[in-house]
Amino acid sequence: MIDFQHILTSINEAASNEKDKGKIADYIPELAKVNVDNFGIHLIDIQQNNFSAGKSDEKFSIQSISKVLSLSMALGLIGEKVWKRVDVEPSGDPFNHLSLLELENGIPRNPLINPGAIVIADILVSKLEHPKEEFLSYVQNIANDDTIAYDLGVAKSEKRTGFRNFAAANLLKSYGNLNNDVDIVLDFYFHQCSLAMNCVQLTNTFFMFMNNGKCRRNNTLLTISQVKRINAIMLTCGFYDEAGEFAFEVGLPGKSGVGGGIVAFLPNKFCVATWSPGLNPKGNSKLGMLALEKLTTETELSIF
């Protein structure tokens, strides 16, 4: 029997003693206000036992982690048609690079880099009558938590400074891979990325990817095939140009965000979320990466 609580407590201690905590994503002004010393970790197992250490109940902006949720909603709405507009290959590039988009005629490499997530946002804007409200309701339903909300300050901050996202959306539009107005799609996208959660809420939300498509309410929201594909994309593309390193060091599917959050899981075993806002040069949480490497090393649990 693994003593998860003991392991999380020791991870939290190691994190607080680490001198170099990384650099905060200050290009989004609202995120620049967060204290770099923050660290939290929470784990839920398949029996729904919960284990926590550090600031696991403090909310933060989940940013790109939300891309997995918009993808799962789009797959639920239009199924396999999603893959006509976005590919499933790792990009090997930072999350906001645009060079491949031109080379590959407006089809983003995968749905977890910014241009791919903007295409997914376009699908949701086309399919939903009230996209922002319905997406939020979808996430609340998965997590069984109606307190989850957008951080409107962050959404506004991103809109003011998201020049590369405007460039990506206009490039997609020029290739015919954006059906709606650029401003409307990006307004939805900036709200999506501004979702605020704590580590506990994040593990509750991603419980369904660990649990064969069944959320904590025991409702089946994705088919086994859809879960398999989303989880595969998280493993190969969830950490931008550091996805190989994460698979090598940690060995779990997962997703990071520039707000410092990481969520990862071992199917049918556990789901874990960490938060530490200092990032490494690749844009992933420095202490989060170290924490998850320590977790899988000490438990000897990974997909490999």
CA distances from 196 to 13, 24, 129, 216, 296 (A): 25, 17, 23, 19, 26
**Please, are residues 265 and 272 in contact by the beta-carbon 8 Å criterion?**
yes
Tokens (6 digits) for 57: 């109940």
User: What whole-number distance in Å separates Cα of residue 18 and Cα of residue 91?
Assistant: 31
Residues labelled catalytic: 64, 67, 189, 240, 258
Contact 27, 39 (CB under 8 A): no
Cβ contacts of 32 within 8 Å, gap of 6 or more: 24, 25, 26
Question: What are the residues whose beta carbons fall under 8 Å from the beta carbon of 181, sequence distance 6 or more?
Answer: none
CA angle 239, 243, 244 (to 5 degrees): 165
User: Is 64 annotated as a binding-site member?
Assistant: yes
How far lies 179's CA from each of 121, 124, 182, in Å?
10, 11, 9
* 240 is an annotated ligand-binding site residue: yes
- In 3-state terms the chain splits into helix, strand, coil percentages (rounded to 5) of 50, 10, 35
| 258 marked among binding-site residues | yes
Residue 175 assigned ligand-binding role: no
Structure tokens at 255: 């997703």
Q: Determine whether the annotation assigns residue 158 to a binding site.
A: yes
Does 250 belong to an annotated binding site? no
End-to-end CA distance of the chain: 20
Q: Which has the closest alpha carbon to 198: 292, 12, 38, 62?
A: 62
Q: Binding site for substrate: which residues?
A: 64, 114, 158, 165, 189, 240, 258
Q: Binding site: which residues?
A: 64, 114, 158, 165, 189, 240, 258
